Structures are given as C-alpha cells and as structure tokens.
A and B are shown apart, each in its own frame.
Chain A
Amino acid sequence: MSKQVVIPFGPQHPVLPEPLHLDLVLEDEKVVDAIPTIGYVHRGLEKLVEKREYPQYVYIAERICGICSFIHGMTYCQGIEGIMNLEIPKRADYLRTIWSEYSRMHSHLLWLGLFADAMGFESLFMNAWRLREHILDDLEATTGGRVIQGSCKVGGVRRDISSEKLDEMASGLDSMQGELHDLVNVFLRDSSVRHRLKGTGILSKDDAYLQGAVGPTIRASGHSYDTRKIGYAAYGDLSFEPVVASAGDSYARCEVRAKEMFTSIDIVKQAVKKIPDGPIDMKVTGAPDGEYFARSEQPRGEVIHYIKGNGTKFLARHRVRTPTLANITPLVTILKGCELADVPIIVLSIDPCIGCAER
C-alpha cells in the first residue's frame, strides 16, 4: 500500500556543513533505506608523504580537518616519535594535552551548535557558537590560529604558553563554566529537545562494539572506551573518567559530548596545575624507519595514524583511520527506520566529519 519516495539527501544541504550524500528511500516520512556515499572531500593527502619531508608533513596532517586539526598534528608527531623512539620534553606533553582539550571543547561546542541547528533550534546554535568564541580566542592567543593551530611539531611543540597566560586560561574556563552549564542544561533538560532526541537513532551496546563505533558514539552506548586512557601525552598523569551513557540514542550521544566539555575543563585545570617547567621541544635528526600505529582520542573518538617510514625523509605510507570512518557503519544502522525529520539529527548525532573521513 504505502508508496515509496526516493530522494537525494546531500551533498549540498544546509544541515550538512560538509558534503555527504544519502539516497533516502522513504515511505511517507519513514526511512526505509539510507545508503551513504562519501568522497566529495577526498583529496588524497596521504599520498603527499611522498612529496613532503616528514617534518613538513605535519602541516598537511593538521589540515586533514580544521576542527580536530591540532590532535591530528599531534598524533602524527606521536607516530613519528614512536618510530624514532623519541622521548619529548614533559612540558611539551602537557602543552599538547592542554591544546587537545581546547580542541575538544571547541569541537564539542561547535557540534552542539550544529546539532541544535539540526533540530531547528536556531538560538541555541547561536549561543553555543558564541561560547565557542571564548575557546577560539584562547586558542588564537596561544597558537596564533583560530581553527588551524599549527603549534605541534615532531619532537615537541612550537610555542610555549607563559604561566600567567595558563592561569588566565584556567580562570577563563572557570568563568565560562556558568554559561556552559546553562547551555548544556538546555540540551539535557529542555522538553522540546528531549522530544527530538530521546529514542531517536538507538545504537545498541553490542552493535556499537561490533560495528566498531568509537568516541562519544560508543560511550553513549554504554562502553567506557576512551583512548585517552592509554595515557599518551600527559593524560597518564591526570585523573579523569570517561563520560558514559547507556541509552545509545541521540540524546545519550548529546549528553556524553556535553558532559565531556566539563571533563575537558577539569583536565585543563589539572594540567595547568601540574605543568612542569622546561624545554618545549627537542632536536630531531635522522629519518623514521619502521611502522607505528599512533592512537589518540579525537573529539569524535579514537584516531589512528599509521606511519610507515623507510629511512628516508619521505615516509612510505601514512594512513589515518578517523573516528568518522569508524562511525559510518553504526550510522547506516541507526538511520534505518527513523523519520525523515530525524535524518539530520541522526546524521549529526555521530558528529560526522567528512573532511576527516575522506582525507
């Protein structure tokens, strides 16, 4: 009886900041089938390792994505350092940690905004992005770039942050916390938001695990899996607990990200307290030879930079498995059976970053 509707969703669609396309097969507004295609942002930058010397390649790695730029650069550096067995200065590790957490906050706020927008909640979007500007201001002041920081390099970091500035940042975060609470409160309490999020796009605990979901997506399905726990950079010295929710729906994913910002603030504050003095970089000579899987926790989940060096300045292979790529399978799963109105929400709920996914 019911008639099908086949429509293109994306690549150009106002709710998708980035191109991704879905062929939606609908019955009334129920999604019967959703088949994604990516590749609109594929640049093929991994191949550039053959043309750039590995220290310069950091700048390419950073530009895998403008949202999670810093952590990409850092993970790449960690990979090289892993192969070459470099022990970088402690202060550099701490600075990397601080910037990572700032990236995370900026990314989560950005996402919260976009997510609010996907629900048609414009003013919430505006407010999230207004708060995000505080984070960006700090990032710009300390690294010189709002979105592409460019402050990481093989063997350490390129800039130091003075201790006054560090304190200022910590207190800045403190004073922002109030407004952040109000913001998060809307996401978690508002009934119109809950109406849209509760129960949409449920990813079961087993599915999440077996389909390889990572980051907030898997944490919202009840797994306490957070790559930061392996203790790269300074995370080993800092205490924090991954935020976990169990419902597995869009609301849970939203909740996890919202609460993670507070964890980040906490981590930054701990790091500011603990940060040791000392050099921020070390001299790196020679070229990497060997292979290494560097892992770290991006805002969207675990990222893996596989680096294979062949003893020359040019790497043999650099491959990035980004969290979004891992989250695509769960996305396809949870899109089935939702409503057209929920498609934007569900797509955004895994926080897709196509730039990352396709490189």
Chain B
Amino acid sequence: MGLFSMTKMVFRSVSRKPATLMYPVRPAKSAAAFRGRILIEPLKCIACRKCEKSCPTQAITVDVKVRTWQIDRLRCIICNCCVEDCPTNCLSTENIYTNPMTVREGIEIYTVPPKPERKKETVDNSKTEE
C-alpha cells in the first residue's frame, strides 16, 4: 500500500525550482532581528564598564585608564546583554556576522574618548582589525 509514498514529494521537488538559496552567489538571507555581531560607536562610549559586567562570557574588556573598549569576537555569543545594559546606547547589534578568520584573532580594540572633556576631538578609531 505504502510503496513509494515519497513519490509526490519527489515529483514536487523536480517540478519546482530547487529550494537552494545559492548562498555565495546570491547574498545570504537574514532576518532583521538576526543577531550578527556587536557594533560600537566608540565616540558615544563613556567606558562605564556596564557592558563588561553584564557580558556572560567576558568578551568585552573596557580599559578605563587607556581608554579602550575591546571585544573578542571569538568569545562573544551575541546575546545582546551588553546592548541592553549600555547606558549611552552606543552598542548595537548588527545582522551581519563576523567573517571567519584564519588566525585566531578575534579581538578588536576601539579607543574611546577620554573621560573628562567631552569634545569632538575626533580620534580616528574605526579600526584595528577585521
């Protein structure tokens, strides 16, 4: 009775276009809500270390003295906690993921503005690595 009951699905698959998303050829689908990676607007950061404390994996290290905000991409689980806890909303989650890397260097360091003066003393700091 149930011989070849898969037939219907097989023929449906053949008659339709393949379901494949053709990823590298076509860009990846991703939902707006997808938590890809944490972004920081270093300029807004006040190095309050709230994010560091709330991070369940200690991916964030904020150095108050040297004024750096550092994240280890190979440690972050993109849980969004830091984003929620940041008082200045300088953190956000992007729906683009971190690219694979060939050396274990997930750490990105951003310089944040020095504490007292809140001037627009633009430090070029969009960087070190990626």
Verify whether A and B have any Cβ pair under 8 Å: yes
Cα–Cα, bound, A189→B9 (Å): 14
Cα–Cα, bound, A186→B10 (Å): 11
Asked if residues B3 and A56 are in contact (CB atoms below 8 Å), the reply is no
The A contact surface, by secondary structure, is helix
- Our pick among B8, B31, B77 for the contact of A137 (Cβ within 8 Å) is B31
Q: Which of B1, B3, B33, B35 has the most CB of A within 10 A?
A: B33
The residue on A at minimum CB distance from B32 is A141
A 51-68 binary contact with B (CB < 8 Å = 1; else 0): 010001101100100000
For window 154-184 of A, CB contacts with B under 8 Å fall at: 158-159, 182-183
Asked if residues B34 and A189 are in contact (CB atoms below 8 Å), the reply is no
Given A56-B81, A59-B79, also A186-B33 (CB < 8 A): no
B4 at interface, CB cutoff 8 A: yes
A 179-200 binary contact with B (CB < 8 Å = 1; else 0): 0001101100111111000000
Nearest CB of chain B from residue A73's CB, rounded to whole Å: 11
Cα–Cα, bound, A191→B32 (Å): 43
A150 at interface, CB cutoff 8 A: yes
A227 at interface, CB cutoff 8 A: no
Q: Which range contains the number of A residues in contact with the other chain?
A: 20 to 34
Asked if residues B2 and A189 are in contact (CB atoms below 8 Å), the reply is yes
Asked if residues A123 and B31 are in contact (CB atoms below 8 Å), the reply is no
Given A56-B56, A130-B19, A150-B80, also A140-B31 (CB < 8 A): yes
Counting residue pairs across A and B whose Cβ atoms lie within 8 Å, the total is 69
Asked if residues A123 and B10 are in contact (CB atoms below 8 Å), the reply is yes
Asked if residues A144 and B9 are in contact (CB atoms below 8 Å), the reply is no
Asked if residues B10 and A144 are in contact (CB atoms below 8 Å), the reply is no
Cβ contacts under 8 Å, A189 to chain B: 1-2, 5
Chain B contributes a number of interface residues (CB within 8 A of A) equal to 27
Cα–Cα, bound, A59→B58 (Å): 13
The residue on B at minimum CB distance from A138 is B31
The residue on A at minimum CB distance from B54 is A56
Asked if residues A194 and B81 are in contact (CB atoms below 8 Å), the reply is no
Cα–Cα, bound, A158→B83 (Å): 12
Asked if residues B81 and A186 are in contact (CB atoms below 8 Å), the reply is no
Cα–Cα, bound, A182→B11 (Å): 12
The residue on A at minimum CB distance from B33 is A144
CB-based closest 9 A-B pairs: A189-B2, A144-B33, A141-B31, A191-B2, A144-B35, A56-B56, A190-B5, A59-B56, A140-B31
A56-B56, A143-B33, A144-B33 provided; 17 other pairs, C-beta below 8 A? A57-B56, A59-B56, A123-B6, A137-B31, A141-B31, A141-B32, A150-B35, A158-B84, A159-B33, A186-B6, A186-B9, A189-B1, A189-B2, A190-B2, A190-B3, A192-B3, A194-B2
9 A-B Cβ contacts within 8 A? A63-B77, A123-B9, A140-B33, A141-B31, A141-B32, A145-B34, A158-B80, A186-B5, A189-B2
